[in-house]
Amino acid sequence: MKISLQSRRAKILAGVSGLAALAVIGVATVAVASGFGTSLKDKVQKEFPNTPITSADCDKGPANLCEVVAGSNVFYVTRDAKFAFVGAVLDLENKVDVTDVRLRELAAVGQAEARIRGAAPAAPGAAGAPGVEPASAPAAPADSPIIRVTLPKANAVVHNPGAPLKMTIFTDLNCGFCKRLHDDLKNVRDIEVTEYPIAFMGPDSPEKAKLALCAKDRVAGIDAIYSGGEVVTSGDCAAAEAAVAANVEFARQNGINGTPMIVRADGRTNSGWMPVNELRAFLGGAS
């Protein structure tokens, strides 16, 4: 069975007022009443009870949308909080991926905070550039939790099985940083990635996670979900739905409320995206 994510996306986008204009140009900021942002944050938090909302700001959203920051992730809502848009927003006039720019800003802040907490600074050079490694493995922050993953691999998508470096990761398939890390690792062959899809960020996150685990080729299915393509499923997805529920419950019990959550072989964790060269060093530092 082939399931097209593009057709579903079209239906979602059609319901969001002003979204077509949003994708074309940046629109001047519209003033909002004092305290509106706080009220909006509360509304969004109510709709996404399992996702801690950091901020909701209509001064920062493109066009007529308001920017919502959930940890290291970004999505957008209408001012009445009736519609949410999870995905990349493109400024076609200036040829800029507005969402990616914002994610990079948040990543820079996150890396600065990690250094303040005692993590090693990021290595110089382009992210993922071959042959560029930090002098030593970045240490996980002292307060970084240890997670012993007891979920079966049947609940995961396994990339590069048998590769020397081992990484477990919890992802929400609506997460911008998860997609970025996925794209970074596409041509990396020395890291075995065991990816557990969870669902808490968007209303269609459970469906995407289920499709990933129900796909005949799970790796190809993840690629298709991130790119908006077709997922070929094995038919009955009841087992996949149960696996997603188990993954979500494990994440809840272990305090995973942001993605990507990276777990190395010794259970040390890193919450958020890492450049590939830094990721290799982090994984190699497992005791």
d(CA 84, CA 104): 21
> What are phi and psi for residue 259, nearest 5 degrees?
-130, 155
Which residues of the chain are in CATH 3.10.450 domains?
Answer: 36-117
User: Lowest-pLDDT range, 34-43, 48-57, 171-180, 237-246?
Assistant: 34-43
Quote the pLDDT of residue 271.
84
CATH superfamily label, 153-284: Glutaredoxin (3.40.30.10)
d(CA 242, CA 45): 26
pLDDT band at 224 (very low <50, low <70, confident <90, very high): very high
d(CA 161, CA 194): 9
> What are phi and psi for residue 64, nearest 5 degrees?
-100, 15
Residue 84's alpha-carbon distances to 88, 132, 173, 227, 250, in angstroms, are 13, 39, 15, 19, 26
Q: Model confidence over 22-75: pLDDT tens digits?
A: 442 222 222 223 344 458 999 888 887 767 888 999 988 888 899 998 877 788
- pLDDT at 5 exceeding the cut of 80: no
Q: What is the mean pLDDT of residues 76-94?
A: 83
d(CA 156, CA 256): 16
Which residues of the chain are in CATH 3.40.30.10 domains?
Answer: 153-284
CATH architecture of the domain with residue range 36-117: Roll (3.10)
> What are phi and psi for residue 73, nearest 5 degrees?
-115, 155
What are the contacts of 31-39 at 24+ separation with CB within 8 A? 32/58, 32/59, 32/79, 36/79, 37/66
| Secondary-structure breakdown of the chain: helix, strand, coil percentages, each rounded to the nearest 5 | 35, 20, 45
Q: Could you tell me the two tokens for 208?
A: 């995407």
